[in-house]
Amino acid sequence: MSNGLQNERREQPNMRGEVVKQPLDKNELESILDRILEVEFTFRQTAEPAQRLAAMDRATQDYVLDWVGRVTSNHIELGYQYACYADKALHLLDREMVEAWALHAMDVYDRDGLRPALAVMHGLDDFLEDQHQRVSGSVLEEVNGVLSGFLHGLSGRRLKLEEGPHPYTDTEVLYLPPVMARLAGKHDNFLLYKSAIALLWAQTRYGTFRVLLDGALDPETASDELVALFHALETLRLEAHIARELPGLFRQMERLKAELEQPALSAPWRELRRRVQSPCTTAHDCLCLAEAHLGRIQPFPDRFYRAALKPVAVADCMAARLEREKARFKVSLKELEDEQREKQDREAKASRFEARLKRDDPEREAMEMEILLDGRPMKLPQFTNKLLNSILLDLGNLPEDYLEPAGPGDYDAKLLKDEEPDPEDVWSGTYHEEGAHLTDEWDFRRQHYRKGWCAVRERTLIPKDESFVRETLRKHSGVVKQLRKTFEALRDEDRLLRRQPDGEGIDFDALVEAISDAARGHEMTDRLFTRLHRSERNIAVAFLVDMSGSTKGWINEAEREALVLLCEALESLGDRYAIYGFSSFTRKRCELFPIKRFDERYSAEVKGRIAAVEPQDYTRMGFAIRRMDAILREVDARTRVLVTLSDGKPDDYDNYRGEFGIEDTRRALIEARRNGIHPYCITIDEQARDYLPHLYGPAAYTVVSEVRALPFKVSDIYRRLTT
Amino acid sequence: MTAQTLHLDEYLITEEPYYEPVGDEIAIFEAAYGNRLPVLLKGPTGCGKTRFMEYMAWRLRRPLITVSCHDDLTASDLVGRYLVRGGETLWIDGPLAQAVRAGAICYLDEIVEARKDTMVVIHPLADDRRVLPIEKLGELVRAAPEFGLTVSYNPGYQSVLKDLKQSTRQRFVALDFDYPSADLEAAIVQKEGGLDAEMAGKLVRFAEMTRNLKGSGLEEGASTRLLVHAGKLIASGIGPVSACHGAIAQALTDDPEMLAAVEELSSSLF
């Protein structure tokens, strides 16, 4: 049968006249898979997955083949495994979950490489565990916002939520698995997350880890059995706290427990539960009980939410924090003391800090303390208050030596400030991402983001001699004058508008006329008021300048001259503006060069930096737009504008070429627009290229070939925005 | 031209408003008022600033004229304006001018919201001159000895553009308000909302949870006022979760994700 005939047979209209595609048969599927998976070179057996796919309807087949393609764009083996598992996954999970599973595997591939990613693929069996019914699970990425809100609302230290293999906490980050799919309903799976969060939060809130501080439990030497028993007892103690503090959640947990058929506690365990239930029981009590019962009783099976206890992970994190917070707390007391002294002009009178419990309430572990200076209660700044709370969470009280103020000189500066690694250092020969802003990047083949893919760093430009600026101003002196005029015309001023239909004052001239009109029998105008027109320009503009190697020559020259002219013009307008340059060399080295930040003045140094704008490496536009998007959103302004100046070719040394770069840049512009930013792209080139309309689709764009034309384009943008 | 003044008796507060002192704010206010110093109340919304003013006005037996400032409030809204009646112009005193003439307490709520030109009339009133220039009448009104000026502002959600200028803030005696301590707040909610102590305590706990969210999704946590609202709903038989949803969560945010998080908190607590 010829191909044409085949298609004819396949696409026969059904009763309603719609064309229904017939399913592909095994041979056709096999050949498609062979092509996608490049079997010619990789010798994979596609017969088996093709066999299974053949049983599906055409829509599902197309869906699977599309995803095989997307996954294969990362790695062929990953795509092959997806093809093998797709049938089973679709059988047991709804599509949303299948997609979450595939995307998770791809994220793991990006982050940790092929082997762990394959483990995720093979892990489908674990993932479904003892599941016999189709489930619709809860995906962490989707519910992260709600869960974070829930977690931050609970009192205590601000914990971060991150993805991890199973639920546990190191007392600063709370790790949760990417997907919860143990129950059939989506909401119930969400509750599993919530329960896990509540228990882990309770570990930090009710002092589970205080046993590590005085050496009662040594994380290195303690046997697994002891830790397991301690964890079981702690779970009971903390559940009792949850029952008291969050009774609504506790009821939900009880319901899930019943649904998941957790075996009821044995009699000895029920007895132990009775002993740890009181609010006065401490983690130390539980540890003593655990030691006493070691070998005599087995811990009960994991609770349904499977929150784990990891003393080793906690110990390091806690030790570092304790040292850091002690230093910071003492230094901030010192600052408070100085401030107080200045206010009251007290001459070197020794002052003394004391701590006092705000209330003594055994029901709620008293976590509130106030600090007194010379007997008077102090209102602590937010930062100090947070420190105090965090210290109380760790220690349960505030030791005396914490109350002795200390100058910042007494401590290593590293302890006092979160370190900002020097971007120059980070790059010197190493390959890690520490200290960089990680931004996502759109992979058009995957039709999804690669998470935290680009490591963006801000680097300083060494200012050059500003003679370039003088030279430019001289060269274009005519343009500068004209520009000033154009921009000054945009400037708005307060003025009193007369003869308004409404306003705050009476326009007496108009009134006199109107009354005399009325006396003569004419119609009286209603435009009798004066109104003050206020100029409230509230614009922030960021300029993003392409510093890639391809701008070398006249484009770079044009960019620099344009920047000088723009600054001159914008200064007369008085709006806030910032200028950043960008360049890249693979995703690990995405660099942003601040030329003028929003809060900086147009100083000699800024002028020097403009002169120092030089062609560097490649043009990875996506990261720069996303980063500027974030910077702009931090500025408080009614209208935010992002103007990119480039030669219009997204390009980088790795695979950021052609379609990939164009699609990612386009995506970044869409994101910016969605975030309420007005993106404008100015391409400096002698000819308009055919891909520009697609690339800049989401933004307004223009092509200029002449330097002097550029600032006028910007004034056009302004006019459009402000009128 | 005739000047017209409203009867200020309407502004007298005859019944004692319910107010629980948090610290020494009453003594400080009285001292400031006695010395004819203007007062600045700082603090988040719904923590009792307005109630405090009502209470103080009652205590000092002065009429209280409250002006809620908004971004279209002009100097003439405060000072007064001409109206036209039957071909004649007629001057009407604004609330501030009335208070100045009659010796009332004028309370300008959320002062930073007002337009910048209002500061021109506030400044001479807020230092030892204590005069109100009425430009359109060509008049300089000397404040009656009993006149008191109080302004309030919420430093929490002020943007750079809407911060109080140093020249303004340095004329006032500042009183810093915050949400009352948990026990006191529970007592207030219990009394105002008509609840039992346990439910009031839980509502306060819920408020603390939303206040923890300040800065990570919520602009402000639940105010004491919102708690009283929720308390009243609960007291009339609405379930606590629905009451918190209607009176607190929806009032705090429109963001669906944040709303869901706040709902999760309330459903966990009750």
Distance from CA of A28 to the nearest CA of B (A): 45
Per-residue pLDDT of B67-109, as tens digits, reads 998 877 888 889 988 887 877 778 889 999 999 999 999 999 9
Residues 370-429 of A with CB under 8 A from B: 379
Question: Is some CB atom of chain B closer than 8 A to the CB atom of A148?
Answer: yes
pLDDT of residue B216: 77
What is the C-alpha separation between A435 and A420, in angstroms, rounded? 7
Bridge partners for B134 per DSSP:
B139
Q: pLDDT confidence of B132, banded at 50, 70, 90?
A: very high
C-beta atoms of B268 and A248 within 8 A = yes
* Chain A, nearest residue to B262 by Cα: A150
Which carries the bigger pLDDT value, residue B119 or residue B160? B119
Angle at A606 between CA A603 and CA A610, to 5 degrees: 140
Bridge partners for A579 per DSSP:
A543, A596
Closest CA to A675 of A633, A631, A636: A633
pLDDT of residue A433: 56
Bridge partners for A450 per DSSP:
A441
- Cβ–Cβ < 8 Å for B143, B131: yes
pLDDT of residue B105: 94
Per-residue pLDDT of B44-66, as tens digits, reads 888 889 999 999 999 999 999 99
Q: Which one of 3.40.50.410, 3.40.50.2300, 3.50.50.60, 3.40.47.10 gives the CATH number of domain A467-488+538-722?
A: 3.40.50.410
Distance from CA of B145 to the nearest CA of A (A): 30
Q: Summarize the confidence of residues B189-210 as an average pLDDT.
A: 91
Q: Pick from B183, B268, B269, B270 the residue to mutate for testing the A interface (most A CBs within 10 Å).
A: B268
C-beta atoms of A636 and B89 within 8 A = no
Distance from CA of B207 to the nearest CA of A (A): 9
pLDDT of residue A430: 40
Which segments within chain B are labelled E, that is strand? 3-4, 39-42, 64-68, 80-85, 88-93, 105-109, 131-134, 139-142, 148-153, 173-176
Domain residue limits, chain B: 3-176, 182-269
- Considering only CB atoms, B87 lies closest to which of A150, A246, A515, namely A515
By three-state DSSP, how is residue A529 classified? Answer: strand
Closest CA to A33 of A76, A92, A88: A76
By three-state DSSP, how is residue A396 classified? Answer: coil
What is the C-alpha separation between B96 and B151, in angstroms, rounded? 12
Per-residue pLDDT of A350-383, as tens digits, reads 667 777 776 555 445 556 777 887 777 777 777 7
Q: Which positions in chain A touch B267 (Cβ < 8 Å)?
A: 248-249, 252
ipTM of this complex:
0.80
H helix or E strand, kind and range, residue A453? strand A448-458
Tokens standing for A156? Answer: 């205590």
What is the C-alpha separation between B140 and B129, in angstroms, rounded? 11
Q: Is the pLDDT of residue B1 over 70?
A: no
Q: Which positions in chain B touch A635 (Cβ < 8 Å)?
A: none
What is the C-alpha separation between A639 and A577, in angstroms, rounded? 12
pLDDT of residue A429: 39
C-beta atoms of B160 and A636 within 8 A = yes
Instruction: Give the number of other CB atoms < 10 A from CB of residue A580.
Output: 20
- CATH says B3-176 is which class? alpha beta
The packing angle between helices A554-573 and A477-490, to 10°, is 40
What is the C-alpha separation between A172 and A319, in angstroms, rounded? 12
Beta-carbon contacts of residue B209 (< 8 Å; ≥ 6 apart): A153, A154, A155, B265, B269
Q: What string of DSSP letters covers A154-186?
A: SSSS-PEEEE-SSSEE-SSEEEE-SEE-SSSSH
Distance from CA of A630 to the nearest CA of B (A): 16
Tokens standing for B76? Answer: 């003439």
Enter the pTM of the model.
Answer: 0.71
- Considering only CB atoms, B76 lies closest to which of A155, A358, A504, namely A504
pLDDT along chain A (723 residues), means of 10: 43 57 84 83 80 86 88 86 84 80 83 82 65 64 87 82 84 85 81 91 88 84 88 90 91 86 80 87 88 84 80 86 86 81 62 70 59 77 82 82 76 64 46 67 83 82 83 80 75 77 84 86 87 75 86 80 83 83 85 88 87 86 90 85 82 79 88 87 74 75 74 74 61
Q: What is the largest CA-CA distance in chain A?
A: 111
Count the residues in chain A: 723
C-beta atoms of A155 and B212 within 8 A = yes
Closest CA to A388 of A417, A367, A404: A367
Q: pLDDT confidence of B144, banded at 50, 70, 90?
A: very high
Q: pLDDT confidence of B5, banded at 50, 70, 90?
A: very low
Per-residue pLDDT of A21-62, as tens digits, reads 788 888 888 888 888 888 777 777 888 888 888 888 888 888
What is the C-alpha separation between B133 and A204, in angstroms, rounded? 61
Beta-carbon contacts of residue A626 (< 8 Å; ≥ 6 apart): A439, A440, A668, A671, A672
C-beta atoms of B268 and A145 within 8 A = no
pLDDT of residue B47: 87
Per-residue pLDDT of B99-113, as tens digits, reads 999 999 999 998 888
Q: Which positions in chain B touch A359 (Cβ < 8 Å)?
A: 182-183
- B interface with A, Cβ–Cβ < 8 A, is 74, 76-77, 81-84, 87, 89, 115, 117, 136, 159-161, 176, 181-183, 208-210, 212-213, 216-217, 241, 257-258, 260-262, 264-270
C-beta atoms of B241 and A248 within 8 A = yes
Instruction: Give the number of other CB atoms < 10 A from CB of residue B265.
Output: 27
Domain residue limits, chain A: 3-128, 138-309, 319-416, 429-457, 467-488+538-722, 494-533
Q: Is the pLDDT of residue B148 over 60?
A: yes
* Chain B, nearest residue to A506 by Cα: B82
Cβ-count burial of A89 within 10 angstroms (0-12 exposed, 13-18 middle, 19+ buried)? buried
Distance from CA of A585 to the nearest CA of B (A): 35
C-beta atoms of B257 and A153 within 8 A = no
Q: Which positions in chain B touch A532 (Cβ < 8 Å)?
A: 74, 117
Q: Which positions in chain B touch A506 (Cβ < 8 Å)?
A: 81-84, 89
- Considering only CB atoms, B267 lies closest to which of A248, A528, A636, namely A248
* Chain B, nearest residue to A143 by Cα: B257
- Considering only CB atoms, A150 lies closest to which of B136, B160, B264, namely B264
C-beta atoms of A152 and B217 within 8 A = yes
Least confident of A483-487, B11-15, B218-222: A483-487
C-beta atoms of B262 and A504 within 8 A = no
Which segments within A488-569 are labelled E, that is strand? 495-500, 505-506, 529-533, 539-546
Per-residue pLDDT of B160-180, as tens digits, reads 456 677 888 888 999 988 888
pLDDT of residue A5: 41
| Per-chain mean pLDDT for chain B | 87
Q: Is the pLDDT of residue B23 over 90?
A: no
Q: Pick from A140, A142, A143, A150 the residue to mutate for testing the B interface (most B CBs within 10 Å).
A: A150
C-beta atoms of B260 and A149 within 8 A = yes
- State the count of interchain CB pairs (< 8 A) between A and B: 89
pLDDT of residue B228: 93
Q: What is the largest CA-CA distance in chain B?
A: 66
